[in-house]
Amino acid sequence: MSLLSELTRSVIASNKRLAPWLTGTHLSATHLAVDDLRILAEPWRVQEEKRKKKDEVVQQALGTRIRQLREKKGWSQEDFAARSGLHRTFVGNIERGLKNTTILTLMMISRALGITVTELLRGLEKRVEELRKRTAR
């Protein structure tokens, strides 16, 4: 048994109030914080580490692609939002690369544009690499 596992088990054993929160979770000593000589469990930190699935460059490249396709149709963001069923500020945030999109959102966008999701994403990897090169300079 590792030192971290022993520390976690001893925290659970010594503090009955924390035991229900920690039982069945996979916490290590890095997920525990010391506050005024008390050890407090922070189980949400386990998920925070996994949640970092956001890549601003990818979002920016996708947003640029969506803006280009929208402008090609001659639609304003407001027109496009109405056609896609999305809120106009959300559409603006997607186009600026500020919001991450779900597959469902991509389907709504592509349907409004009259294309498939495949066509919407076509060339995205190449655009991402170009953006990464530009930002690296």
pLDDT in tens, the chain (137 residues): 555 555 556 655 555 554 444 444 444 444 444 444 444 555 555 555 555 567 899 999 999 999 999 999 999 999 999 999 999 999 999 999 999 999 999 999 999 999 999 999 999 999 999 999 988 87
Strand locations in 1-135 (E): 32-35, 38-41
Three-class DSSP category at 59: helix
Domain with CATH 1.10.260.40 in the chain: 56-136
CATH class of the 56-136 domain in this structure: mainly alpha
Cα dist. 105→7, 14, 94 in Å? Answer: 44, 47, 10
Calculate the alpha carbon distances from 55 to 45, 97, 100, 103 in Å.
20, 9, 8, 16
Entry pTM:
0.62
